[in-house]
Amino acid sequence: MFFISLSTSSVHAEFAELDQLFLEEGIVDRNYKYIDKKLAAKAFTEINNELADSLPIMIDANTEVTSVFHSPSIAVYSYTLDLQNQIDDIHFNEFKKFLHQEFTTAEKTRSFCSELFDAKFQQANGYTFLLYFYDESGRKFVDITLNEKICPPIN
């Protein structure tokens, strides 16, 4: 039976570690392309189940991961930013614009890519990583998409 063990101390799993595991389990070929999508789906279901038991996870003083979903083609992470109700409705759009600028800088994109898009299987299979950031009232601030076009190829 296929089994993946991830450290749930950090929801940002080491995706690069999955490359070797997927090779060993016959999920990907030597070019990291899926050869068994059913087994890949099963592996990602196990990852989802393991992470679901540990959610929500505080990743810093103001940021909580509230939901995580993985499949062979996409991952979706939702975060809640604790702003302690500092942003009223009048200033929400201004802050949303500011946060979008902060989260989409080249430096921040490189950081997201290195943390979350560091596996060869992601690059080889057209994987997409979606990040959604909300305030504690559920208002979306920013969404970020990572894929092989945005994140540089892995050597």
Task: Say yes or no to pLDDT of 78 above 90.
Answer: yes
Percentage of the chain surpassing pLDDT 90? 46
pTM score of the predicted model: 0.82
pLDDT computed for residue 88 by the predictor: 65
Which region, left, alpha or beta, applies to residue 26 given φ > 0 means left and ψ of -120 to 50 means alpha? left
How many Å separate Cα 81 from the centre of its chain?
Answer: 16
Contact between residue 131 and residue 29 where contact means Cβ atoms under 8 Å apart: no
Mean pLDDT of 120-124: 94
93's tokens: 């759009």
pLDDT tens sequence across 24-71: 999 999 999 999 999 999 999 998 998 888 899 898 888 899 999 999
What architecture (CATH level 2) is domain 15-146? 2-Layer Sandwich (3.30)
Give alpha helix (H) positions in 25-134: 37-52, 89-103, 106-116, 120-124
- According to DSSP, the residues that pair with 130 across neighbouring strands are 76, 145
Distance CA 99, CA 93 (A): 10
Domain ranges of the chain: 15-146
Q: Give the pLDDT band (50/70/90) at residue 5.
A: very low
Q: Which residue reads 């076009």 in tokens?
A: 149
How many Å separate Cα 54 from the centre of its chain?
Answer: 15
